[in-house]
Amino acid sequence: MARGLKNPKKADRKAKKRANGESSTVPSMPAKIWQPGVDPLEEGEELQCDPSAYDRLHAFHVGWPCLSFDILGDTLGMVRTEFPHTVYCVSGTQAEKASWNSIGIFKLSNISGKRRDLVLGKAGGDGSDMEDSDSNSSDEEEESEENGTPYPPALQIHKIAHQGSVNLIRAMRQSPHICASWGDTGHVQIWDFSNHLNCLAESETGVSTGASNVVSQAPLMKFGGHKTEGFAIDWSPLVPGRLVSGDCDGRIHLWEPSSDATWNVGKPPFDGHDLSVEDLQWSPIYSDIFSSCSVDGTVAVWDIRIGKKPAVSINAHKADVNVISWNGYSFMMISTGTFSIHNLRMLKPGDSSDTVVAHFEYHKRPITSLEWSPYQSSMLAVTSEDNQLTIWDFSLERDEEEEAEFRARMPEQVNSPEDLPPQLLFVHQGQKDMKELHWHAQIPGMIMTTASDGFDILKPSNIDTTIP
């Protein structure tokens, strides 16, 4: 299908540039995909981002580096596809001095980008859906490509003092103003940030206040029962207020709410890991089931109804297992920090290796975060110490005929590596020391990442805005 002219005004501007001797063409050197850890970067070579790969890409920072953050649910709409967008988040700092640390509640508004139509299911085989979505970019968005973003994003932030660095922070799904933080002091604290969120919601959109003062606030609860610090917390998606926290000694505590502002923390702790608990995840289907992963190389599944020992323990890897994520649709599928996909329905007594249904070795450094898409059951996002965010679609398979047809249509040669997995959908680079990623549950296809040099919020252009 031939693609028509999308914006005559833009074409006229480009024609005027050519008439004036200005050139907007790219040098004729063939494009090449660069792979971290595989390809060397020669002296004088510079990596360049391809802006056409994104519907939106925006970088920002909130002061000190943030090891952990969470995207907060809001009341702006359950499924939002039209730009501009507004995002609320909570994050915790890793400051130079312990007394300088804070929790930040921030609002990022006026996030503009390319408009694409909602896809109600899989695109047709003739590719017509893709053509239609491309042609629906508005004139205003086309203007932004040459004249700058018409609606510059605005960052507004409230900062609350926090004792020590924030190792991890998570918001309750049912009540996003209630957050739990893991500090390097060895304390888990519960906070109520409703006042701050109300102030941000009522503030003027488009006014940047990125350097607000740090205020003091007492937590709802402070738990010191862990004997050391930790990096694992998760709120139950099914039981409001139910929480688990894990520490570097391998101990896990269950928190049960006794009121809106108090919790009973179970003692003794759950005991099944020999080394540090690196991540915890509640089952999205069963309210009494959660999983954990550890530096001891195991993934454990726990049933809080049957005691303090694991119901199932999987020898997932010979080295550390840093992160895990339950699939919200194929609910017995767990992805682990070794970047393996496990189907627990295949588990056989005494043989945990039978659970592995896929294993990928694309990343050359340890995995720091991974998360299944809340909208597509086959899609997974991964960050690694190799400074890459990768997005995978496990429904994809290699089609040699389709690849040959694509190369024939390309106006110039693209030196794409032959050994890239066909499931690899997108690669994002440019941040240093990536730590954590999250999909936005109310904006399909939008992802936020944190790293030592700040945050990126992005929406890849090759991810359809699909509602399952």
pLDDT tens per residue across span 354-395? 677 777 778 888 899 999 999 988 899 999 998 999 999 988
Instruction: Please give the pLDDT value at position 403.
Output: 66
Average pLDDT over every residue of 408-424: 68
Average pLDDT over every residue of 204-231: 87
Instruction: Please give the pLDDT value at position 9.
Output: 44
Is 5 a residue whose pLDDT tops 50? no
Which region among 60-64, 136-140, 165-169, 259-263 has the lowest average model confidence (pLDDT)? 136-140
Task: Name residues whose C-beta falls within 8 Å of residue 435's C-beta, 6 or more positions apart in sequence.
Answer: 66, 67, 68, 368, 369, 383, 450, 451, 452
Q: In this structure, what token pair is assigned to residue 194?
A: 């409703």
Is 439 a residue whose pLDDT tops 60? yes
Q: How confident is the model at residue 467 (pLDDT cuts 50, 70, 90)?
A: low
Average pLDDT over every residue of 30-38: 64
Is 416 a residue whose pLDDT tops 90? no
Is 411 a residue whose pLDDT tops 80? no
Q: How confident is the model at residue 335 (pLDDT cuts 50, 70, 90)?
A: low
Average pLDDT over every residue of 412-441: 84
**451/455 Cα distance (integer angstroms):** 6
Average pLDDT over every residue of 42-60: 86
Q: How confident is the model at residue 50 (pLDDT cuts 50, 70, 90)?
A: confident
Helix (H) or strand (E) holding 132: helix 128-135
Instruction: Please give the pLDDT value at position 117.
Output: 65
Residue reference for tokens 């928190």: 255
| 120 against 198, higher pLDDT | 198
**278/292 Cα distance (integer angstroms):** 8
Q: Give the CA count within 13 Å in the CB-facing half-sphere of 342.
A: 29
Task: Name residues whose C-beta falls within 8 Å of residue 255's C-beta, 6 or more positions apart in sequence.
Answer: 223, 241, 242, 243, 244, 245, 263, 264, 265, 266
Cβ neighbourhood burial of 41 (10 Å; 0-12, 13-18, 19+): exposed
If you count DSSP H runs as helices and E runs as strands, how many of each does the chain have, helices first?
A: 5, 32
Q: Give the CA count within 13 Å in the CB-facing half-sphere of 38.
A: 11
Is 119 a residue whose pLDDT tops 90? no
Instruction: Please give the pLDDT value at position 122.
Output: 45
pTM over 0.85: no
Average pLDDT across the chain, whole number: 82
Is 407 a residue whose pLDDT tops 70? no
Which region among 204-213, 297-306, 354-363, 439-448 has the lowest average model confidence (pLDDT)? 204-213
